Amino acid sequence: MSNNRTPMLVLEPADLAGLNDLGRSLGELALPGDVITLEGPLGVGKTTLTQAIAAGLAVPSDQFVTSPTFGIIHEHQGRLPLYHLDLYRLGGGEEELLELGIEEYLYGEGICVIEWPGRLGGLIPKRRLEMELEFHGESGRRLTLTAHGGSWPSRLAGLRGGGKR
Ligand SMILES: Nc1ncnc2c1ncn2[C@@H]1O[C@H](COP(=O)(O)OP(=O)(O)O)[C@@H](O)[C@H]1O
Ligand SMILES: [Mg+2]
């Protein structure tokens, strides 16, 4: 565990446009090997945020990022590969993940965006950007970003207190 665990960015309230802006910025700033974990309840916006990250990575819009019904790992090609892991339907735990070759995604040259990262158990990478999404008010959200190692704090410095589009 990295000791860099202080939230470095809290966005609140985040309306849909704010969440999309943040996602797009993350996609634009992403570097090979980045892992972004998205925690939060059903319907809070994890897949929506993933779509915005995909847009920031210049994934063509016809390659829609949806909640996969079949399979839990979906790959999209933008300026870097985007591996979208939705572990909600994972049945077989860490063993199933290892059989799927999870480590090639987590430690590859693309960007991993992971919904339900708790299902990774002990396979969760030490270096990651953790995002917590919470419902806030009627249709708002609160987004809390915590860097575990890596260079996200300096990359996101420009986003603090005002944001970048
Ligand atoms: N402020 C907001 N941030 C994110 N999503 C929002 C917001 N307001 C409304 N929504 C809607 O909530 C839904 C979130 O669904 P989804 O992204 O699939 O959630 P999850 O993947 O977390 O289950 C979408 O239909 C989205 O348009
Ligand atoms: Mg989802």
Count of helix runs (H) and strand runs (E) in the chain? 5, 7
The tens digit of pLDDT for each residue in 61-101 reads: 888 767 656 679 999 999 999 999 999 989 889 999 999 99
Instruction: State which residues form the domain around 33.
Output: 12-148
Closest-CA residue, ligand 1 atom 17, reads: 45
pLDDT of 1 reads: 45
Banded model confidence at residue 5, pLDDT cuts 50, 70, 90: low
Instruction: Tell me whether residue 162 is in a domain.
Output: no
| Domain at 103, CATH number | 3.40.50.300
Question: What is the tally of structural domains in the chain?
Answer: 1
Instruction: Tell me whether residue 31 is in a domain.
Output: yes
Instruction: Tell me whether residue 1 is in a domain.
Output: no
Instruction: Tell me whether residue 158 is in a domain.
Output: no
Q: Could you give the CA distance from residue 97 to residue 22 in angstroms, rounded to a whole number?
A: 29
Percent of the chain residues topping a pLDDT of 90: 76
Task: Look up the pTM and report it.
Answer: 0.92
Q: Could you give the CA distance from residue 26 to residue 65 in angstroms, rounded to a whole number?
A: 16
Q: Which ligand is nearest to the CA of 85?
A: 2
Instruction: Tell me whether residue 165 is in a domain.
Output: no
Q: How is residue 102 written in tokens?
A: 């999870």
Ligand 1 contact via 47 beta carbon (within 6 Å): yes
Q: Residues with Cβ < 8 Å from 139, sequence gap 6 or more?
A: 15, 16
Instruction: Tell me whether residue 5 is in a domain.
Output: no
